[in-house]
Chains A and B, each alone.
Chain A
Amino acid sequence: MDRQINLPITADIAESLTSGDYVYLSGEMYVARDAAHKRMMEVLEKGETLPIDIENATIYYMGPSPARQGRPIGSAGPTTASRMDKYAPTLLDLGEKAMIGKGKRTKEVLDAIVRNKAVYFAAVGGAGALLSKCITASEVVCYDDLGAEAIRKITVKDFPVIVVADCHGNNLYETAILQYCKNS
């Protein structure tokens, strides 16, 4: 089913999503990848406050190429989500509601999605030029020294994603290939 959704994603919205839904997101989301996640974990271990508002947050796993003059951002496609698997359950338990990336997740992450009524979306990997056109604004929130890995807040308009793992325990990566698999 095709849907238009305004961010933030709440538990109610997450519950209404089913693996396989094609969704166009509009609104504000955070951008963070490996190094930023590692730092956020260090912040939490020290008992300090996260540099982002994690409640109902959507985090896009992405590190953009530099923006040319007059543009909000450079190429901006998803990175492999499994590298954030070590950190994601903690953030989901703290209120994060949606993750956007590409590729498989661990059982721990899938369980945390169900437990917290959250969702994991895939964006099309390697379509960074196309996806950048759906980003209307971008600002660095913190960790500027990390360059492409800094935490950003971006505004998106009709940003196309597909629900891979929903809070009902479905996983599109496992189900979608069955129909076309002739050689298991």
Chain B
Amino acid sequence: MREIPVTVITEKIAEMCIQANHYLSEDMDRALKDAVESEEAPLGKKILNQLQENLTIADQEMIPICQDTGMAVVFMEIGQEVHFTDGNLEDAINAGVAKGYTEGYLRKSVVGDPIERVNTKDNTPAVIHYSIVAGDKVKITFAPKGFGSENMSRVFMLKPADGIEGVKNAILTAVKDAGPNACPPMVVGVGIGGTFEKSAMMAKQALTRNLDEKPQIEWVRNLEQEMLQKINELGIGPGGLGGTTTALAVNINTYATHIAGLPVAINICCHVNRHVVCEV
């Protein structure tokens, strides 16, 4: 048994809030730089160059990359040998979010009730996903999510007979409908299989996957490649103003499912696909 005081988690989360909102991960950074080279539309290229300049300013002057610093999504992979002390873990995570968003000059974008809509003023509560894993470590993935792209995300409960063609249509439909609203070039996270909520979770997790990591299953790997090409042939382009870079990546996760179902979830993220990982 390894003891971890929850105050350690609070501090880590606070740092991650600030880091995620000012610097992109290396893989995202590289994908955006590559897009500047490959984009064929003059206006598209101009917009991609502005995004490069935006990242430089964010980094050097500590201005958030995007004003929508997101709702805090936290994945906690907790080793089963860990025992948290000195308080409640969930409270500690939310305290970290409140600290990070307040001290980091990040926007407070959360309302406490979806209908009454009063801002909570510290960006809490976070959306927290826990999983119990082997070992005595805690892996935290912090992925603040902006809602321009979140609003364009979809879940389709397809029939088994729809097969892989149905999956392809679902992905293309979601991206086409999202168009300029989701701040392209986007990253498309897809979850195929499981249940209604499992597919959505997989789609969200897929967005946090390093763009250089490829899936083990061959058909999934091929589907990612094919969908990226098809999406980029839609012509939506940077900012939705025409071009050959509509998506930077399509990341797909899969899981077992029921004999009667084929759930497909598409979680769209803008080019500010923020995620930071740390291990405690």
Residues of B contacting A67 in the complex (Cβ-Cβ under 8 angstroms): 105
Complex-state Cα separation, A184 to B244, whole angstroms: 14
Question: DSSP majority for the A interface?
Answer: loop
Tell me if B54 and A177 are in contact (CB < 8 A).
Answer: no
Asked whether any CB of chain A lies closer than 8 Å to the CB of B96, the reply is no
Number of contacting residues on B, CB 8 A? 49
Complex-state Cα separation, A68 to B18, whole angstroms: 14
Least CB distance, A130 to chain B, in whole angstroms: 4
Tell me if A181 and B57 are in contact (CB < 8 A).
Answer: no
Asked whether any CB of chain B lies closer than 8 Å to the CB of A1, the reply is no
Complex-state Cα separation, A126 to B244, whole angstroms: 18
Asked whether any CB of chain A lies closer than 8 Å to the CB of B141, the reply is no
Tell me if B40 and A129 are in contact (CB < 8 A).
Answer: no
Complex-state Cα separation, A129 to B57, whole angstroms: 6
Complex-state Cα separation, A122 to B239, whole angstroms: 9
| Interface segment, one of B66-74, B78-86, B193-201 | B66-74
Number of A-B pairs whose CB atoms are under 8 Å? 166
**Residue ID in chain A nearest B51 by CB atoms:** A127
Tell me if A180 and B107 are in contact (CB < 8 A).
Answer: no
Asked whether any CB of chain A lies closer than 8 Å to the CB of B89, the reply is no
Q: Per-residue CB proximity of B37-55 to A under 8 Å, as 1/0?
A: 0001101000100110111
Name the residue among A104, A130, A148 with the largest chain B CB count within 10 angstroms. A130
Residues of B contacting A51 in the complex (Cβ-Cβ under 8 angstroms): none
Tell me if A129 and B181 are in contact (CB < 8 A).
Answer: no
Asked whether any CB of chain A lies closer than 8 Å to the CB of B65, the reply is yes
Asked whether any CB of chain A lies closer than 8 Å to the CB of B223, the reply is no
Question: DSSP majority for the B interface?
Answer: loop
Tell me if A126 and B69 are in contact (CB < 8 A).
Answer: no
- A128 is contacted by which of B66, B243, B244 (Cβ under 8 Å)? B66
* Contact residues of B between 222 and 280, Cβ < 8 Å to A: 230, 233-237, 239-244, 270-272
Tell me if A183 and B40 are in contact (CB < 8 A).
Answer: no
Binding site for B on A (CB under 8 A): 22, 35, 62-68, 71, 74-77, 79-80, 82, 102-104, 122, 124-130, 132-133, 146-149, 160, 162, 164, 172-173, 176-184
Top 4 A-B residue pairs of the complex, sorted by shortest distance between their CB atoms: A176-B242, A181-B235, A180-B235, A103-B181
- 20 A-B pairs whose Cβ atoms sit less than 8 Å apart in the complex: A68-B62, A74-B105, A75-B107, A79-B68, A79-B148, A102-B183, A103-B240, A124-B47, A124-B50, A125-B239, A126-B51, A129-B61, A130-B57, A173-B180, A176-B242, A177-B242, A178-B235, A179-B242, A183-B234, A184-B234
